[in-house]
Structure 1
């Protein structure tokens, strides 16, 4: 068990030092694609939002000790509908950026809300 945990830690440390990360899944789409898909099929926004929650949870789990500890990804001051509105607004204003950039901006907003 300890050997497996040590191997996992080494693997994560190696990944953290990589210069380039390939993001996969629905969140790898551009904001322009997100805008078009949600306009065509509004229910698809749930898929994007689920990806965003998973992405932010993964970022929180990989954060080094002392960074973002106790960060609430679903605070009462920014409930899920407001987070979805934030992502829609970001992508409407920045169609040339990636949806992941919108999620990163949301994560930073949540960090600011925790202060």
Structure 2
């Protein structure tokens, strides 16, 4: 798999998030207690970006991903919507790992028919 490095792992603190654009694809990474998860930056409800400010994708407590538009809440570890208008749907997950202390993603499996 062709993983691409995004940033040093220590650039995304525990229970925080960071946004990126790679090959024209907007995505973000969350760090849930030291484990990194990456998602396409698109709400399954309206297809809009999720952040309320740059790099701000989490709720006030830093425990869930929250859509800034309608307040939908998503679990960090699997992107499932547990509250809001898209309940039962999920964010589009992107393969994410840490290689040589760099958070890295693999965009190869993304459904590019929904690009951008």
**Which of the five TM-score ranges fits, normalised by the shorter chain?**
under 0.3
TM-score (norm 1): 0.27
From the two aligned structures, give the one with the greater strand fraction. Answer: 2
Larger RCO: Structure 1 or Structure 2 (Cα < 8 Å, ≥ 6 residues apart)? 1
TM-score (norm 2): 0.27
